[in-house]
């Protein structure tokens, strides 16, 4: 064997070893990039994330870990439901506030089970970025899961400090639920990182040009249904065949016995279950009158439309409150809706508990793709609970005092009137209290082309009541006022702290091109979370971008504008 051959062999072997070491290092680096420690940097709770994600098994990327996290979230929700059921079976030994809080938790966990089941079916079959609409749907559901869990926590904390019960709620429910909240946050973060497109701007659907007359929707229905409707209604429906809102069936609620039902709840009960809206809305026409009943539109009552005879003509009223009746804020509502695709038109909703009874909700809305058009909401503290999912309000009147538009939905208000009222002595008014708890939630309150003026009782009083645009209820509170008229009674600071410096750095409060004497931003708060924004940023909180409303609002028949004015 020649020395040249020997040297050549050594040369190639040396290079092969170098190449092998380089390849091994590269593979190791790639694997490290997909390890739990790296994946968890995308989450809000990286330490907790590393403690729950598997370190062995067939997990190689964010999709694998995302699927694992969503499935684990689903398992914990099922376990939590069984624990709550155990406590409710012992309800005769529990205080009334505790029972109410646990009933809320069961209700909300049952929704979470549905949302997680839906999410897991999708993430389990794909490892790529989803189309914009599908991604938005699932991010909305995962955001709502966090909201539902937080609502349960808030209710339990309220009663845990004031009531004594024979079992330890803290050990059995409260502490595990805090960890569940972290897990759901991780599921949301990994889904957002892996499946949600970075650019959420989709192709717009051209809005149909619908004809409105005195706030009435053009309804497309069978001759039989039209005859039924017009037998009671004092007005004739539009007769155009084109561009009408499809209605599958009509029932009429009338207190004088001339309709199908005398109560709203009886009409809701016979609505079909789990429809997809393709055959039209189930229409409940509620004639003029004062309906003293507590109405709940359940999750299986989808695509239900409720039309009244007008604001202050058709009135749904109740007086439950947190302070007196032992209800949680969540279940104090006069009217509650979770059924997808709900539409309300020409109705007044109110809670008459009064300022003295503190938290008392008129409407609690947790219905995805829901719409309120030409409606009014009357209360004091916590009037309108925009709890979760995607919501739109148009040409509505909202009255209240402390935190009277609050919650953690993605909610847009357009062309509406916001009326702060006279609160209790030594109270101040905060119009909004937005409840975003996680930076990956696609939620917030957007108030566009609205009018903020004092209600008459505040306007003509000699009170020194201070009114603010909002305050941060939760850590990542997010509220935007755009192109709205703000009257002079609003405090020049604009915004009020919740408690000390809580959320002043992490909240997002913004104003864009507002008018009126109260819109001057020169003396506004100097928090890091407050911003005077331009058109590019404001556009992110319009119907088109924030709700993707171009895809679903046209079918409601409710007028809207997609972007900035």
Tokens representing 225? 């249904």
Span 262-276, average pLDDT = 97
Residue 343 pairs in a beta bridge with 305, 371
pLDDT at 408 (0 to 100): 98
C-beta atoms surrounding 55 within 10 Å: 9
72-92 average pLDDT score = 93
- Pairing mode, if any, of strands 295-297 and 289-292? unpaired
| pLDDT tens profile 468-510 | 999 999 999 999 999 999 999 999 999 999 999 999 999 999 9
DSSP output for 31-51: HHHTSHHHHGGGSS-HHHHHH
Average pLDDT of 109-122?
Answer: 98
Whether 403 is catalytic: yes
Q: Hey, how many other C-beta atoms are within 10 angstroms of the C-beta on 269?
A: 11
Q: Which residues pair with 350 in a beta bridge?
A: 317, 378
Q: What's the confidence (pLDDT) of residue 162?
A: 54
Least confident of 77-81, 136-140, 275-279, 542-546: 275-279
In 214-318, which residue ranges form alpha helices assigned H by DSSP? 223-232, 264-269
Instruction: Pick the more confident residue, 7 or 418.
Output: 418
Helix (H, G, I), strand (E, B) or coil at 409: coil
pLDDT (0 to 100) of residue 231:
60
CA-nearest of 355, 411, 404, 338 to 376 is 404
What is the pLDDT of the chain when averaged over all its residues?
88
Encode burial over 215-249: b for 16+ CB neighbours within 10 A, e otherwise.
ebbbbbbeeebbebbeebbeeebbeeeeebbebbb
Task: Please answer whether residues 361 and 381 qualify as being in contact, where contact means their C-beta atoms are separated by less than 8 angstroms.
Answer: no
What is the tens place of the pLDDT at every residue in 388-443?
999 999 999 999 999 999 999 999 999 999 999 999 999 999 999 999 999 999 99
- Assign 446 to helix, strand or coil: strand
Lowest mean pLDDT among 152-161, 252-261, 366-375: 152-161
Confidence of residue 21 (pLDDT cuts 50, 70, 90): very low
Both structure tokens of 374: 């030409």
The rounded distance, in Å, linking the Cα atoms of 556 and 565 is 21
Q: Residues with Cβ < 8 Å from 330, sequence gap 6 or more?
A: 104, 151, 155, 361, 364, 385, 387
Please, which residues have CB within 8 angstroms of residue 442's CB and are 6 or more apart in sequence? Answer: 136, 139, 140, 143, 410
Alpha-carbon distance of 278 to 247, in angstroms, equals 10
Which one of 368, 403, 438, 550 is the catalytic residue? 403
What is the mean predicted confidence (pLDDT) over 165-189? 85
- Joined tokens for residue 227: 């005859």
> Is residue 242 scored above 70 in pLDDT?
no
**Of 18-22, 172-176, 387-391, which range is least confident?**
18-22
State the first-to-last Cα distance of the chain, in angstroms, to the nearest integer: 87
pLDDT at 230: 65
pTM score of the predicted model: 0.90
Is the per-residue pLDDT at 372 higher than 90? yes
Buried/exposed 299-320: b ≥16 CB within 10 Å, e otherwise: bebbbbbbbbbbbeebbbbbbb
* Mean pLDDT within 510-521: 98
Check if the beta carbon of residue 69 is closer than 8 Å to that of residue 186: yes
Question: What confidence tier does 158 reach under pLDDT thresholds 50, 70, 90?
Answer: confident
How far apart are the C-alpha atoms of 484 and 248, rounded to whole Å? 37
pLDDT at 515 over 90: yes
Cα angle 303-404-152, degrees, rounded to a multiple of 5 = 65
**Which residues does residue 451 pair with via DSSP β-bridges, in sequence order?**
417, 485
Split at pLDDT 50, 70, 90, the class of 511 is very high
324 band by pLDDT with thresholds 50, 70 and 90: confident
Tokens of 335: 């009217």
């Amino acid at each position: 064997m020649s020395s040249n051959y020997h040297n050549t062999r050594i040369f190639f072997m040396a290079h092969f070893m170098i190449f092998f070491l380089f390849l091994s290092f590269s593979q190791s680096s790639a694997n490290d990039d997909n390890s739990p420690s790296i994946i968890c940097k995308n989450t809000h709770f990286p330490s907790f994330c590393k403690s729950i994600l598997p370190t062995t098994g067939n997990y190689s990327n964010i999709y694998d870990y995302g699927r694992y996290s969503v499935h684990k979230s689903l398992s914990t929700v099922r376990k939590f439901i069984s624990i709550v059921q155990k406590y409710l079976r012992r309800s005769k030994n529990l205080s009334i506030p505790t029972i109410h809080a646990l009933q809320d938790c069961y209700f909300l966990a049952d929704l979470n089970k549905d949302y997680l089941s839906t999410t897991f079916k999708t993430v389990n079959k794909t490892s790529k970025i989803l189309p914009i609409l599908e991604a938005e749907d699932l991010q909305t559901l995962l955001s709502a899961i966090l909201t539902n869990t937080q609502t349960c926590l808030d209710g339990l904390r309220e009663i845990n400090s004031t009531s004594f019960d024979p079992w330890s709620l803290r050990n059995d429910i409260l502490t595990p639920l805090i960890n569940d909240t972290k897990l759901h946050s991780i599921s949301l973060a990994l889904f957002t990182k892996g499946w949600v497109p970075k650019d959420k701007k989709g192709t717009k659907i051209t809005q149909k040009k619908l004809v409105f007359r005195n706030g009435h929707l053009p309804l497309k229905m069978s001759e039989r249904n039209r005859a039924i409707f017009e037998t009671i209604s004092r007005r004739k429906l539009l007769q155009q065949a084109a561009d009408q809102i499809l209605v599958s069936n009509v029932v009429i609620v009338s207190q004088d016995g001339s309709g199908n039902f005398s109560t709203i709840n009886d009409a809701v009960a016979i609505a079909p279950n789990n429809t997809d809206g393709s055959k039209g809305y189930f229409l409940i026409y509620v004639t003029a009158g004062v309906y003293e009943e507590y109405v709940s539109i359940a999750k299986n009552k989808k695509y239900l439309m409720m039309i009244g005879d007008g604001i202050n003509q058709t009135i749904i009223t109740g007086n439950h409150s947190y302070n007196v009746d032992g209800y949680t804020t969540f279940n104090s509502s006069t009217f509650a809706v979770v059924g997808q695709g709900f539409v309300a038109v020409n109705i007044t909703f109110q809670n008459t508990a009064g300022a003295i009874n503190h938290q008392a909700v008129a409407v609690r809305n947790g219905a995805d793709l829901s719409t309120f058009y030409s409606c009014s909401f009357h209360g004091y503290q916590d009037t309108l609970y925009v709890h979760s999912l995607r919501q739109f309000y148009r040409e509505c009147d909202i009255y209240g005092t402390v935190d009277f538009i609050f919650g953690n939905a993605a909610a847009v208000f357009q062309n509406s009137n916001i009326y702060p009222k006279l609160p209790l002595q030594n109270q101040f008014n905060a119009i909004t209290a937005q409840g975003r708890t996680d930076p990956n939630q696609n939620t917030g309150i957007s108030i566009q082309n609205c009018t903020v003026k004092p209600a008459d009782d505040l306007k003509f009083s000699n009170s020194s009541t201070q009114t603010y645009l909002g305050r941060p209820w939760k850590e990542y509170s997010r509220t935007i006022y755009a192109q709205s008229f703000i009257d002079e009674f609003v405090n020049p600071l604009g915004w009020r702290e919740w408690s000390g410096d809580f959320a002043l750095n992490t909240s997002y409060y913004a104003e864009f091109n507002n008018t009126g004497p109260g819109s001057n931003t020169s003396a506004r708060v100097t928090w890091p979370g407050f911003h005077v924004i331009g058109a590019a940023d404001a556009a992110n909180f319009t119907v088109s971008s924030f709700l993707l409303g171009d895809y679903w609002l046209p079918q409601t028949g409710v007028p809207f504008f997609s972007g900035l004015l």
